[in-house]
Amino acid sequence: MSTESRYETVIGLEIHTQLATRSKIFCGCPNRFGSPPNTQICPVCAAFPGVLPVINKAVLDMAIMTGLALQGEIRTLNEFSRKNYFYPDLPAGYQISQFELPIVEHGFLMIEPEGGARKRIGITRAHMEVDAGKNLHEGIVGASWVDLNRTGTPLLEIVTEPDLRSAAETGAFLKKLRGLVRHLGVCDGNMEEGSFRCDANVSVRRRGETRLGTRAEIKNLNSIRNVMRAIDYEVERQIDLIEAGEKVIQETRLWDANQNHTRTMRGKEEAHDYRYFPEPDLPPVVLTVERIEAIRKRMPELPDEKLIRFQKDYGLGEYDAGVLTADREMADYFEAAVMAARPAEAKSVANWVTVELLGRLNREGMELGQSPVVAEALGKLTRMIHEGIISGKIAKTVFGHMWDGAGDPARIVEEKGLVQVSDQGAIEAEVDRILAAHPDKIAQYRSGKVQLLGFFVGEIMKAMRGKANPGVVNGLLKSKLDG
């Protein structure tokens, strides 16, 4: 048994999702990324003396919706608390957060790790809080700068149970959660810009041990790949420590993507005592069941529900359905394409989306949103195949033209003269011409070399520049050769 396999990894996550509201959580400043420093602050979010917070309704609505999507319980009575600590990016000296009574508790999310079975990951809680500003260090000599633009951005912090057992599971979970919040439209999920941030609590223990090992909290993880790399590194570090007879200490560690390691975080307050107490400036949040149910009703269909529906309604396999429901944009694209085609053609639409379109997007390094081929056009293209107007092969050519910006497939087919020939007479004339030119091959075919059928089809197609209806060609050839 290898050293690694004698240990079990235990991971719990804290995910900070920035809610995609128009304004900040407690003031009317715009909630926007990338403005010049301190241009979207006001006395409230910059914590000037005497100012007071007033909550943004959309924050509560988005928190409720996310909680419902995570199958959690929505607390109809929840409250804000102050978490007290000093840091320049926290202007009030306290963060308005939720402590004893969070808005969401006891949820879960199912994950499908690659090569593994479906697994339920518990969500301990999700609570609303304010984001901090930014301390800027790079390129500044002898000082740091404080930019408070981000201060007051609404966050929903989602805390998982320590249910994850590997970097792969963690990656699968984060992809699933990110897809979910994007799908709900509550967060853009952009890890690089920090709108979807993850801290990982990582510990190891000998297999069979039921108590949790000492954990390290890892911060500064700005991509799912980095989360996975950091976990792998951290697990190895902790196992090495234990194997060497040393102790893992509970601490916060920073992931350094350049050096590919984690290191102790210095400079943060040495005494951690947040002195939580209920926020006196904000009365308790009281939610009605009616409000929660109204949000449930207007909530977009969840990816897991969609997965099942796609299989049932469109007859798709689990894999295709999974790819098409991975995010809302993809699912919407697919369904719009099916609308332009016919429900019966859904499977072939799925094929075109997952193979041709995604393949091309991948090669070009593009996102679905940048696709020059719109869903309706792709649906029409599929429909034209099924109506026998073009062959699948021609369709690929048409798709190429569509990609290059030629637009409507019907027009392309017409302009380029690509309409499939299904006229028996026209095809028969060509079949007769080809057969007459190859009497030797006919003899070989009739003596048992049936694979020569493909040769004849190819010759006819070549002669007709691919426009012949392959079904008709096949039928005529067979009747003439075999008959």
Partner 1 sequence: MSKSLIQSKNHMSITEETIRHVATLARLDISPGEIQTYTGQLSRILGLMEQLRAIPTEGIAPMSHAVALTLPEREDVAVNPDRREALLANAPDSEEGCFRVPKIIE
Partner 2 sequence: MDAPIPTLAQAAQALAARETSSVELTRACLSRIERLDPTLNAFITVDAEGALRSAEQADQARSRGEGGALTGIPLAIKDLFCTEGLRTTCASRMLERFVPPYESTVTARLRAAGAVILGKTNMDEFAMGSSNETSYFGPVRNPWDPARTPGGSSGGSAAAVAAGLCVAAIGTDTGGSIRQPAAMTGITGLKPTYGRVSRFGMIAFASSLDQAGPMTRDLRDAAMLLQVMAGHDPLDSTSITTPPPDYLAALERPVRDWRIGLPEEYFGAGLHPEVRAAIDGAIALYRELGATIVPISLPYTQHAIPTYYIIAPAEASSNLARYDGIRFGHRCDQPKDLKDLYARTRAEGFGAEVKRRIMLGTYVLSSGYYDAYYRKAQRVRRLIAEDFARAFRDHDLSVILTPTAPESAFPLDEKKEDPVSMYLSDIFTINVNLAGLPAVSLPCGFDFHGMPIGFQLIGRPLDEAAILTAGHAYQQASDWHNARPGNLP
Residues forming contacts to partner 2 in the complex (CB under 8 A) are 43, 46-55, 82, 84, 86, 88, 91-94, 146, 267, 273, 275-277, 280-283
Closer CB to partner 2, 266 or 297, in the complex:
266
Q: What size, in residues, is the chain?
A: 483
Alpha-carbon distance 289 to 294, whole Å?
A: 9
Kindly state whether residue 92 participates in binding Zn ion, applying the rule CB under 5 A: no
- DSSP for 343-377 reads GGGHHHHHHIIIIIIHHHHHHHT--GGG-SS-HHH
Alpha-carbon distance 191 to 242, whole Å?
A: 33
Closer CB to partner 1, 60 or 375, in the complex:
60
Q: At which residue do the structure tokens 């309604």 appear?
A: 313
Contact 235, 9 (CB under 8 A): yes
Sign, CA torsion 360/366/367/370: negative
Closer CB to Zn ion, 27 or 435, in the complex:
27
Kindly state whether residue 130 participates in binding Zn ion, applying the rule CB under 5 A: no
Binding flags for Zn ion, 34-53, as an x/- string (CB under 5 A): --------x-xx--------
Kindly state whether residue 472 participates in binding Zn ion, applying the rule CB under 5 A: no
Options 27-35, 110-118, 242-250, 411-419: segment touching partner 1 (CB under 8 A): 27-35
Kindly state whether residue 57 participates in binding partner 1, applying the rule CB under 8 A: yes
- DSSP for 379-438 reads HHHHHHHHTTSS-HHHHHHHHHHIIIII--HHHHHHHTT-PPB--HHHHHHHHHHHHHH-
Contact 342, 379 (CB under 8 A): no
Closer CB to Zn ion, 27 or 96, in the complex:
27
Kindly state whether residue 260 participates in binding partner 1, applying the rule CB under 8 A: no
Contact 192, 179 (CB under 8 A): no
Alpha-carbon distance 471 to 422, whole Å?
A: 9
Closer CB to partner 1, 1 or 271, in the complex:
271
Kindly state whether residue 41 participates in binding partner 1, applying the rule CB under 8 A: yes
Q: What tokens were used for 378?
A: 């792709």
Kindly state whether residue 231 participates in binding Zn ion, applying the rule CB under 5 A: no
Kindly state whether residue 139 participates in binding partner 1, applying the rule CB under 8 A: no
Kindly state whether residue 143 participates in binding partner 1, applying the rule CB under 8 A: yes
Closer CB to partner 2, 108 or 145, in the complex:
145
Which partner, partner 1, Zn ion, partner 2, none, binds residue 298 by CB below 5 to 8 Å per kind?
none
Binders in 86-125 for partner 1, by CB under 8 A: 86, 88
What is the pairing mode between strands 119-130 and 154-160? Answer: antiparallel
Residues in the interface with partner 1 (CB under 8 A) total 56
Kindly state whether residue 464 participates in binding Zn ion, applying the rule CB under 5 A: no
CB of 15 to Zn ion, least distance (A): 25
Furthest-apart CA pair in the chain: how many Å? Answer: 99
Q: Name the site residues for partner 1 (rule: CB under 8 A).
A: 21-23, 27-32, 36-43, 46, 48, 54-60, 79, 86, 88, 135-137, 140, 142-148, 254, 265-268, 271, 273, 275, 277-278, 280, 282-286
